[in-house]
Structure 1
Amino acid sequence: MAKADLQTIVILGAGAGGLAAAIALGAAGYRVLVLEAAAGPGGKLRQVTAAGQAYDAGPTVLTMKWVFDGLLARCGLRLEDGLPLTRADVIARHYWARQDREGGACLDLFADPAESRRAIADFAGADNEEGFRRFTEDSARVFALLRDSFIDAARPNPVSLSRRIGLHRPGALFALQPFTTLWSALGRYFPDPRLRQLFGRYATYCGSSPFLSPATLMLVAHVEQAGLWLVEGGMHALARHLAAIAEGLGVRFLYGEAVRAIHSDAAGQAVTGVEMESGQFIPASQIIYNGDAAALGGLLGQTPAPSRAGGRSRGRSLSALVVCGPARPRGVELAHHTVFFSENYRDEFDAIFRDGRPPDDPTIYVCAQDRDAAGQLGEGHAAGAAERLYCLMNMPADGDRRLYQESDIEKCLTAMDRRLAANGLTAGRLRDAQIVTSPDRFAALYPGSGGALYGKASHGWMASFSRPGSRGPLQGLYLAGGSVHPGPGVPMAALSGKLAADLLMADMGSTSRSRLAATVGGMSMR
């Protein structure tokens, strides 16, 4: 059977996972239709317009470029073909509370580990410099152990992961430190609590608390040092670029098309197609669902189980309050990525995960979208003109249970400005022009999530094994996105799409071989 004769494969969602799946399938010659409820591609790689300018309003960091290079190699392309990229020399700038009139304590991390070691020695002394050397070595080791055995592989269980790494290598298994929290592990490397706070923040990259997440997440340090890239036009340009590549492979996109239900056969065992909100039915025997796994049951007609008051957000990852808009910042110097740390990190995460409320003293991440990695404004930026700022504070994922009123948002913005000022920055946001996205808005954008931006929180050593894998609950249904294996983040979601597409193609190949065997067998019996 020629691939062109096969029924169209339907992908629900044009986020990073759906786009990656579309490219993998299109490159292999399959007919693909992508249905996206939004007006364009991207999913969480979204864009908003404030005061006539476009802002990235979702992920702002591109790492693990090898994921996209491997995907696009299937169609003879590289990521930078038609998408200008710049490798950042400064990974991020970090500020703590201001100790004098000149501003807060500041530390830059660099793409060059030797530069970072020198900066840490100047900032916190020789003991912390030595700790950083050991930390980078161990984080690289953890990443090397997990890249092929877990990150870029079908979802394992603890036993199969141990086999992949090698049961004869107990030292390697011990290096993963699955039963130690990230915060506890950091104490072995860094006497200075500010550095524990800095590297503990890596837990938030998967929407989690460093006090509850496994030490395995130290691998994020290696991921960043292996390459952090700035995309010309912002991260949303990456989504548009991937969609254009998919279209060049013959993939069709229908935007503004929301799906009401996924239908199955009379036995409830295999998918038969999707029903659109418009009432149109699109037949399909292979579907890749690129959405939050928590919303899948509703599309399959399952009634959600009742929950206790306040219990619906249990296990969810972080949400956020994101502010995008023009600003005239004053005070300490911004890099492209700058973090302003709170006074008490544990209190911040206790507020979110234990108490289910916005933190009174949040850590603030600022992306200065008109600046290069080191913080220089572009040549075309007029002197004295406002620049584009993206400010984020972590929030509880309660967007399906709480409607954030203007007074709630104002309280959060006040806490945000108070922390920035304590660390030396007056943001100078032009409030009449800014766009604010709160957890309830994220819940509306991403059905089933409650505003959680990373699926389930990675709390406890079993969390990574509890995410769904590529195979869905029905025959012909496959899963992709940041809420499934291998986890959240743009490259990880892209990997999930590639894994889903590869599994789908393997299943279709197996089916074709079975049909061929049956045909040959029938002929031989005649």
Structure 2
Amino acid sequence: MPSDRVIIIGAGIGGLVSAALLAARGCDVTVVEAAAAPGGKLRTIDVDGAAIDAGPTVFTLRSVFEEIFDACDASLADHLSARPAATLVRHAWGAARLDLFADARASEAAIGDFAGAGDARGYRAFRAEAKRLFEALDRPFLHDTKADPLTLGWRMGAAGFRDYCSLRPYTSMWRALGGYFTDPRLRQLFGRYATYCGSSPFKAPATLMLIAHAEASGVWLIDGGMQALAGAVEALGRRGGARYRYTAPVARILVERGRTAGVELVSGERIRADAVICNADPAALGDGRLGVRATRAPKAGQRSLSAVVWLAKARTDGFPLVRHNVFFSRDYPAEFAALSRQRLAAEPTVYVCAQDRDDADGRAPCGAERLQILVNAPATGDGAPLPQAEIDRCEQAMRGQLLRAGLSVDPAAPTMLTTPHDFERAFPSTGGALYGRASHGWAASFLRQGSRTRIPGLYCAGGSTHPGAGLPMAALSGRLAAACLLRDRASTSWWSRTVTPGGMSTRPAQTARTASPSSPSSAASSRPITS
């Protein structure tokens, strides 16, 4: 009879969510993490005494996390302080600027002023289509286990047949956007959503327009930075009894008699378990990084994008930054053509997260401010290192792009640089790819690693697995991995205290924290964790 011992490799968001949900159901959960703190890619790096978010910076789909906390009989609001942003993103093309807002009518009016009434109507139609795509795929695909096209159609059912036939998988995102916008700058702006999962708008399917709906539904600014989200989910797990061991890298996954038996740490210590959830990139399994017996897990496909990232504590001048800012290149096709040739773009689009800015007033903080500055790069981190001359050219191109819009960043300010090779060292077997498999072509979404592997008792979670990249998707992957583990446990045992396979999630309720933070409540143990 199987017991409840679970090892989770990696304290990224997917692993943290799995740990919290399983601990709330009475499982004996231990999380082992090579780094010194939780978060995975959701990390901070110290620059001149300032902790700067060095990974994801955009928090959307708050409801995903509310549902996870609710499933553990807790309230997200009790663990995390966050407020909605009125200005979602500020965009610039040289001197021209366009803001998108949480208020859809304000965005439509801004687009009308920027590009004319026709494109304002196009935005209205685009937004409706993005919402339709999101709602069609939310429950049957994003919240459910990995599917093939036939299974997805079955899940959507007769009522969703029309949506199933119009998911637009065979049209590129770039081509589809031409049907909504005549101004090429707007096509460029909304095509950028493909890069949220590390892909090219020229190769990604139009289905990915649904990402625009996720952002338009609300961007949240987290007090204490993005690392506070990782801390909140870790605290949720501790509340249920999960244990966390940091600076504890795993050497290999133990496989005995054809199924998972635990892990062996680099230190030589062995930790026995009945199931393991791997919150690492599946490519690390396929490459044998976690033991030769685990290579039966599938290898990754075409890599997503990487990045060159500067973290700076610097004075700025000349442009009214908000929290999220994008400075577009003058030739988007040329930019992605260079990336597809495994080269840095001569003139890149630049993203700037001004982490001390709040909303739309554009007022700079007194003194230096914390910046994350990012340009897309090919995932070549396991090849020859980038020559210093190429890195210097990339920085000059980045600064030139900012200056076109009037933004200057003190070149003498303390700065930390991260390249694809640094990302490869932090996340082995990825080449520095930040989003797992690229979402190129109609079948890409069906080819991601699912929650289960071909090794019994070994599961996967994280942004490189189904349902995809980004914080909410990584959280859903952790939820799905936990649900699959519980269902498999129930199917091989005559007893099941807590499992409700196939249960439907309810809308999140704001509940008070229980009196005892060290033990799961009976209410939590009865809540389903996935649909």
| Common fold: TM-score over 0.5 | yes
Secondary structure class of the residue paired with 1:274: strand
Match of 1:371 in 2: 357
Instruction: Please tell me whether residue 154 in structure 1 is matched to residue 135 in structure 2.
Output: no
Aligned pairs for 1:119-130 within 5 A: 119-130=110-121
| Conservation of the 8 A alpha-carbon contact between 1:325 and 1:429 | no
TM-score normalized with structure 2 length: 0.90
Alignment of 1:442 onto 2:423: yes
What is residue 500 of structure 1 aligned with on the other side?
Answer: 481
Check if 1:404 corresponds to 2:386.
yes
1:50 aligns with 2:47: yes
Q: Deviations over 1:478-503 (max 9, x none)?
A: 11011110001011001000000011
Q: CA deviation at 1:75?
A: 2.1
* Equivalent residue in structure 2 for 1:227, among 218, 227, 247: 218
Which amino acid letter does the alignment assign opposite residue 36 of structure 2?
A: A
1:144-168 CA distance string (max 9 Å, x none): 1000010011111000111222356
Question: C-alpha separation between the residues in 1 aligned to 2:80 and 2:371?
Answer: 23
Q: 1:195-206 to 2 correspondence within 5 Å?
A: 195-206=186-197
Query: Does residue 67 of structure 1 match 2:64?
Result: yes
- Cα distance in 1, alignment partners of residues 423 and 215 from structure 2: 26
Q: Which residue number corresponds to residue 347 of structure 1?
A: 334
Q: Where do residues 358-397 of structure 1 align in structure 2 (5 Å cutoff)?
A: 358-376=344-362, 381-382=365-366, 385-397=367-379
CA distance in 2, matches of 1:515, 1:424: 63
What's the % identity of the aligned pairs? Answer: 47
Is the deviation greater in 58-67 or in 403-412? 403-412
Residue deviations 1:370-389 (CA, integer Å, cap 9, x gap): 000325558xx43xx01111
Distance in 2 separating the partners of 1:143 and 1:38: 35
Amino acid at match of 1:442: F
Q: In the TM superposition, what whole-angstrom CA distance separates every residue of 1:285-337 from its partner, at most 9, and x where no partner exists?
A: 200000001001311316989xxxxxx99710000011111122122211110
1:511 aligns with 2:497: no
Gap runs ≥5 in structure 2: 498-531
Task: Give the equivalent residue in structure 1 for 2:454.
Answer: 473
Equivalent-residue separation in structure 2 for 1:66 and 1:515 (angstroms): 29
2:266 is aligned to 277
Shift of 1:281: 1.2
> Does the aligned pair in 2 maintain the 1:325–1:430 contact within 8 Å?
no
Q: Residue 251 of structure 2 contacts residue 291 of structure 2 at CA under 8 Å; is this kept in 1?
A: no
Q: Any conservation in 1 of the 2:283–2:300 contact (CA below 8 Å)? A: no
| Distance across 1 between alignment mates of 2:480 and 2:133 | 22
Q: Helix, strand or coil for the counterpart of 2:76?
A: coil
Give matches, 1:278-293, under 5 Å. Answer: 278-293=267-282
Give me the whole-angstrom Cα distance separating, in 2, the residues matched to 1:509 and 1:300.
Answer: 28
Tell me the residue number matched to 2:84: 87
Structure 1 CA distance, aligned partners of 2:165 and 2:453? 32
Deviation at 1:38, TM superposition (A): 0.2
* Contact 1:313-1:398 at 8 Å conserved across structures: no
Residue 82 (structure 1) shift: 3.0
SS in 1 for 2:338: helix
Q: Indicate if the aligned counterparts of 1:336 and 1:375 stay in contact, CA closer than 8 A.
A: no
* Partner Cα distance (2:357, 2:207) in 1: 32
Distance 1:73 1:342, change over 3 A: same
Q: Which runs of 5+ in 1 are unaligned?
A: 98-103, 306-311, 517-526
- Give the 3-state SS of the residue equivalent to 2:78 in structure 1: coil
TM-superposed CA distance for 1:407, in Å, is: 2.7
Asked if the contact 1:337–1:373 (Cα under 8 Å) also holds between the matched residues in 2, the reply is no
In structure 2, relative to structure 1, the CA distance for the partners of 1:37 and 1:117 (3 Å cut) is: same
Inter-CA distance 26–430: structure 2 relative to 1 (3 Å threshold): farther
Q: Secondary structure at the match of 2:476?
A: helix
SS in 1 for 2:264: strand
Q: CA contact under 8 A between 1:13 and 1:291: conserved in structure 2?
A: yes
1:258-279 CA-partner distances (Å, limit 9, x unpaired): 111112114xx20112111111
- Alignment partner, residue 456 of structure 1: 437
- Matching residue within 216, 231, 241 for 1:240: 231
Match of 1:520 in 2: none
- The answer to whether the 8 A contact 2:178-2:187 is kept is yes
Aligned residue type for 2:344: P
**Structure whose alpha-carbon radius of gyration is higher:** 1
State the 1:226 CA deviation.
Answer: 1.1
Counterparts of 2:155 and 2:50, CA distance in 1: 48
Whole-angstrom CA distance in 2 between matches of 1:280 and 1:30: 21
**Of 9, 12, 16, which residue of structure 1 is paired with 2:9?**
12
SS in 1 for 2:379: coil
Structure 1 equivalent of residue 251 of structure 2:
260
- Kindly provide the amino acid, as one letter, of the partner of residue 434 in structure 1: T
TM-score by length of 1: 0.91
1-structure distance, mates of 2:411, 2:141: 42
